[in-house]
């Protein structure tokens, strides 16, 4: 069905009674063509149902204008928000980025990167999968493809990074908890294979140190960075002889899990146990109770990353400066209503 053997630039040249070069010029919007000729050509394009073959074009000009966004987990609203931020700027630059999901698998990531390279991408914004090997991006580097990391970084790598100030965010959040009168604190979720983990945990520790929390009163529970992980962390924490009374969570997903688990145990979040999240995803504001969280300006960082890669492509360099985004703590309900050392007794501890 439909016109077989897809039309080429030559077909439309014949149709319009001009040369293929003229058609090419029109396609590129060159001003050298007489307007009426251009019109004639455009009409022919329409009539024939011609579709431009970017592969053939790239063969000649090696200037692909395809940009890839490699995301570690599209299911996670946090990364989805970030992706949308990036898209916004690519769109206004007239570029359609291709998104690929690695589902947190380094193997899958390798496939994805390979495919993207074969496609001839002009640049890449990557949020690397957990457990990415140090050399995973060497291919890209030697090929001279601009790459920027966003949100996550690799242990040792020269690739520019756009990320929030995790250390400071964790510090702020921890200080808030301590200010609320908590003296035995936990850090919930995450694991050391993520650089971000060390940064956030570092901020937590430094705040404890600075504000007089004894090392024995800083509890860290590794776990999945998901709701499930949060539930698990809370369970094991509360099973301790002397459980913590508050937790800074690795991210909001963990925090939501904690909130859930508290409810399930008949405990009142914010009253019986304070929790603060990290990332401030859209849902945090609408949760019950609304989650106190460290806002990192997710979409903004995405936009920034997109801008950086665009600039790198334009100036044909593979280097750029890191960017550490400002963070701030947005206080909602999950750490209790007031800050007067005497924590309210829950109004009945039944559900």
Partner DNA sequence: TGCCTTAAATGGAACGTTCCAATAAATCAA
Partner DNA sequence: TTGATTTATTGGAACGTTCCATTTAAGGCA
Q: Which residues bind DNA (CB under 7 A)?
A: 6, 8-10, 18-22, 24-25, 27-28, 32-34, 37, 50, 52-53, 56-57, 59-61, 63
Rounded distance between C-alpha atoms, residue 197 and residue 222, angstroms: 10
Burial class (CB in 10 A: 0-12, 13-18, 19+), 94: exposed
Radius of gyration over alpha carbons of the chain, in Å? Answer: 26
Between residues 17 and 52, which has the closer beta carbon with respect to its own copies?
Answer: 52
Is residue 35 near its own copies by the rule CB under 8 A? Answer: no
Q: Is 81 in the site for its own copies (CB under 8 A)?
A: yes
| Length of the chain counted residue by residue | 351
Applying CB under 8 A, among 63, 139, 339, 344 the residue interacting with its own copies is: 139
Closest approach of its own copies to the CB of residue 118, in Å: 4
When the beta carbons of 145 and 208 are compared against its own copies, the nearer one is 145
Q: Cα–Cα distance between 332 and 255 in angstroms, integer?
A: 13
d(C-alpha 221, C-alpha 126), whole Å:
28
Nearest to 278 by CA among 191, 181, 184, 167: 167
In the list DNA, its own copies, none, the entry touching 75 (Cβ below 5 to 8 angstroms by class) is its own copies
Rounded Cα–Cα distance for residues 39 and 152 (Å): 49
Say whether 145 sits in a helix, a strand or coil.
coil
Estimate the crossing angle of helix 9-16 against helix 20-27, to 10 degrees.
110
- Cα dist from 325 to 85, 89, 284, 299, 304, whole Å: 14, 17, 20, 11, 9
Show the site string, 223-262: x = touches its own copies by CB under 8 A, - = not.
Answer: ----x----------------------------x---x--
Q: Is 76 exposed, middle or buried (0-12, 13-18, 19+ CB in 10 A)?
A: buried
**Closer residue to its own copies, CB minimum distance, 288 or 345:** 288
Q: Does 43 bind its own copies (CB under 8 A)?
A: no
314 binds, among its own copies, DNA, none (CB under 5 to 8 A by kind): none
Q: Which is nearer to its own copies, 83 or 161 (CB)?
A: 83
Binding to its own copies (CB under 8 A) within 170-229 occurs at 227
Element housing 136 (H / E): none
Q: Binding its own copies by CB under 8 A: which of 118, 156, 242, 321?
A: 118
When CB distances are held under 5 to 8 angstroms depending on the partner's kind, the choice from its own copies, DNA, none that residue 125 binds is none
Contact residues for its own copies, defined by CB under 8 A: 1-4, 6, 49, 51-56, 58-59, 66, 74-75, 77, 80-81, 83-84, 87, 91, 96-101, 103, 108, 111-112, 115-120, 139, 141-144, 227, 256, 260, 263, 286, 288, 318
């Amino acid at each position: 069905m439909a016109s077989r053997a897809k039309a080429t630039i030559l077909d439309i040249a014949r149709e319009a009674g001009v040369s293929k070069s003229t058609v090419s010029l029109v396609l590129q919007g060159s001003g050298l063509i007489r307007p009426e000729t251009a019109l004639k050509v455009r009409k022919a394009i329409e009539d024939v149902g011609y579709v431009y073959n970017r592969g053939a074009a790239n063969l000649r000009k090696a200037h692909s204008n395809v940009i890839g966004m490699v995301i570690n987990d599209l299911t996670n609203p946090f990364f989805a928000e970030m992706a949308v931020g990036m898209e916004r700027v690519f769109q206004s630059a007239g570029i359609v980025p291709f998104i690929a999901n690695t589902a947190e698998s380094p193997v899958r990531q390798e496939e994805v990167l390979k495919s993207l390279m074969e496609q001839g991408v002009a640049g890449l914004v990557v949020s690397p999968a957990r457990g990415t090997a140090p050399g995973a991006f060497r291919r890209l580097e030697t090929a001279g493809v601009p790459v920027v990391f966003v949100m996550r970084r690799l242990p040792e790598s020269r690739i520019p990074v756009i990320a929030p100030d995790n250390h400071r965010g964790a510090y702020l959040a921890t200080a808030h908890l301590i200010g609320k009168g908590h003296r035995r604190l936990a850090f919930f979720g995450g694991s050391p294979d993520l650089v971000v983990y060390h940064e956030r945990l570092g901020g937590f520790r430094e705040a404890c140190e600075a504000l007089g929390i004894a090392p024995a009163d800083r509890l860290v529970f590794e776990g999945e960075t998901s709701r499930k992980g949060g539930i698990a962390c809370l369970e094991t924490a509360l099973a301790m002889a002397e459980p913590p009374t508050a937790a800074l969570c690795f991210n909001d997903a963990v925090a939501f899990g904690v909130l859930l688990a508290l409810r399930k145990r008949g405990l009142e979040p914010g009253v019986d146990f304070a929790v603060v999240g990290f990332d401030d995803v859209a849902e945090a504001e609408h949760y019950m109770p609304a989650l106190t969280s460290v806002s990192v300006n997710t979409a903004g960082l995405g936009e920034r990353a997109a801008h950086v890669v665009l600039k790198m492509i334009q100036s044909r360099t593979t280097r750029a400066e890191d960017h550490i985004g400002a963070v701030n703590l947005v206080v909602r309900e999950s750490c209790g209503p007031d800050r007067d050392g005497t924590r309210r007794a829950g109004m009945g501890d039944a559900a």
